[in-house]
A and B are shown apart, each in its own frame.
Chain A
Amino acid sequence: MKLITAIIKPHKLEEVKDAVQNLGVKGLTVTDARGFGRQGGHTEVYRGAEYEIAFVPKVRLEIVADDPDVDRIVESLLATARTGKIGDGKVWVVPVETAYRIRTGEVGPDAI
């Protein structure tokens, strides 16, 4: 099993959700996130005074997937979250030792 984490542009969330759902993904977790990458922050102006806002709003998306499904999900994420402009985000994958479903007590890939 793997944990796929993606940081994406907030307006891409619905599109990404539909795409991975079509691949059979049964659940994912979304968190509002802030951060900076190569895009950097942006400037806001209040009564003529400029403020550098260092952290840009992003969405953090987490999916736990069984090994055979991981590549397809990642490909789909990369395709749908992409606009081609700076600030599209990142995707990374890390191994997951095990997983449990709280309601039934199922363990491992069955719990996904």
Chain B
Amino acid sequence: MPQLDTGDTAWVLTASALVLFMTPGLAFFYGGMVRSKNVLAMLMQNFFAMGIVTVLWVLVGYSLAFGAGSSSGLIGNFDYVGLKDLTNAMSGTIPTLAFVGFQLTFAVITPALITGAIADRMRWSAWVGFITLWSLVVYLPVAHWVFSPAGWLFKRGALDFAGGTVVHVNAGAAALALVLILGRRKNWPGEPMPPHSLPLTLLGTGILWFGWFGFNAGSALAANAVAAQAFLNTFVAAAAAMLGWLIVERLKSGHATTLGAASGAVAGLVAITPCAGFVGGLAPIAIGFAAGAVCFLAVSLKFRFKYDDSLDVVAVHLVGGILGSILLGLFADKSVNPAGHDGVFFGGEWNALGEQVLAVAVVLVFSFVVAAAIGYALKAILPGGIRVSEDDEDTGLDLTQHSETGYALERV
């Protein structure tokens, strides 16, 4: 039995708390961008992820994602249902329960990312159904494929340090499917629906950036040099992406905006996620800068193809996740992390890049198709469908779905 390392254990426990904090951070990032009549509904969809996914994770989630499973590597097993037999187990140099907690925080934030796309119009009960089913049927298998050493994409050699495919491509593809089924918000894009509080959005961005150190550097699962490299890469990519977004935004639309600074930083954090512990040197500047510029340009896709991805989950998470996962095939450097391999720029094989493309494509298609199936099924089964009535959409989700008001400043 491997020896427990107190430093590693302390870092992974700390990192887990950091990653959990990202979900409320995401809630505020999104919450500031919706209109004030929908702010609580947005916060609630995110906060609820911390409730439902946590319970599912303990009951079956961890076991299905990280149980050894069959040789096919498609799904785990039921060995650890209810976290059975894990009390004194070890995973490398840390207690398995620390790993369970760390991975739980990833399972929580991934479906929460989807909420930005479906803002202002999904029924609360439909969201409860969707997040439950999607977590079980999509997140768990994909986490097994990519993160578990028994998973088939892991075994093929696809690299994903902290979740470029499992978290961002996965959530982004599901978001796109759900947007297409839900339809556009009433009067979009004709009617202006500007953010009600960009200060909240910037506060949320700060929390996300802070928590992302746990997300990426924690994924080293040890307090070591790879963690330090991942920490710095995370920092630098977010900064470079902010610059990339702002430069393109200034050139294309005349102003450098606070929402642009926030969105750019998040795009950089997304793109560096798969790369964080596998690249070094100036790579995070290149990856971040590219993410900022490309994700800004990707926002215009929704206007061209008329899908109402309300808060740009596709442009930031799907596009950013794809970009980071593929750039990893170019920038990976084995001298940074012997567990990885060299990318094309470091003398690596082109087929390593091919494995990155394959992993992205498989996760994208699987998540899109199954999310669409869940969406259509809920639409057919739920008595009220998955979308609120036009009246409720006009009134706002806070009052109609939760019987609350976000800002009661006018009341004595």
Specify the chain A residue showing the minimal Cβ separation from B195. A46
Which of B104-112, B214-222, B250-258, B342-350 faces chain A? Answer: B250-258
- Asked whether, in the complex, the Cβ of A49 is within 8 Å of the Cβ of B255, the reply is no
- Asked whether, in the complex, the Cβ of A47 is within 8 Å of the Cβ of B259, the reply is yes
Specify the chain A residue showing the minimal Cβ separation from B297. A48
> Beyond A45-B253, A45-B254, is A51–B192 a contact (Cβ under 8 Å)?
yes
Query: Closest CB-CB distance, A46 to chain B, in whole Å?
Result: 6
- B300 partner residues in chain A, CB cutoff 8 A: 48
Confirm or deny: A30 has a beta carbon within 8 angstroms of a beta carbon on chain B.
no
> Beyond A52-B192, A53-B192, is A47–B252 a contact (Cβ under 8 Å)?
no
- B263 partner residues in chain A, CB cutoff 8 A: 47
- A44 partner residues in chain B, CB cutoff 8 A: 192, 194
* Binary A-proximity of B184-219 (CB < 8 A = 1, otherwise 0): 000001001111000000000000000000000000
Which residues of A8-40 are within 8 A (CB) of B? Answer: none
Confirm or deny: A50 has a beta carbon within 8 angstroms of a beta carbon on chain B.
yes
Confirm or deny: B95 has a beta carbon within 8 angstroms of a beta carbon on chain A.
no
- Asked whether, in the complex, the Cβ of B257 is within 8 Å of the Cβ of A46, the reply is yes
- Asked whether, in the complex, the Cβ of B296 is within 8 Å of the Cβ of A48, the reply is yes
- Asked whether, in the complex, the Cβ of B194 is within 8 Å of the Cβ of A47, the reply is no
Query: Closest CB-CB distance, A44 to chain B, in whole Å?
Result: 6
How many Å lie between the Cα of A44 and that of B196 in the bound state? 13
- Asked whether, in the complex, the Cβ of A50 is within 8 Å of the Cβ of B253, the reply is yes
Confirm or deny: B160 has a beta carbon within 8 angstroms of a beta carbon on chain A.
no
- A51 partner residues in chain B, CB cutoff 8 A: 192-194
How many Å lie between the Cα of A52 and that of B189 in the bound state? 12
How many Å lie between the Cα of A18 and that of B252 in the bound state? 45
- Asked whether, in the complex, the Cβ of A45 is within 8 Å of the Cβ of B257, the reply is yes
* Binary B-proximity of A44-86 (CB < 8 A = 1, otherwise 0): 1111111111000000000000000000000000000000000
Specify the chain B residue showing the minimal Cβ separation from A45. B253
- A49 partner residues in chain B, CB cutoff 8 A: 189, 299, 303
Chain A residues proximal to chain B, CB less than 8 Å: 44-53
Contacts A46-B195, A47-B257, A51-B192 aside, 18 further interface pairs with beta carbons under 8 A come to A44-B194, A45-B253, A45-B254, A45-B255, A46-B194, A46-B259, A47-B260, A47-B296, A47-B312, A48-B249, A48-B296, A48-B299, A49-B189, A50-B253, A51-B193, A51-B194, A52-B192, A53-B194
A–B complex contacts, Cβ < 8 Å, 15 sampled: A44-B192, A44-B194, A45-B257, A46-B257, A47-B257, A47-B259, A47-B263, A48-B249, A48-B252, A48-B253, A48-B296, A48-B300, A49-B299, A51-B193, A53-B192
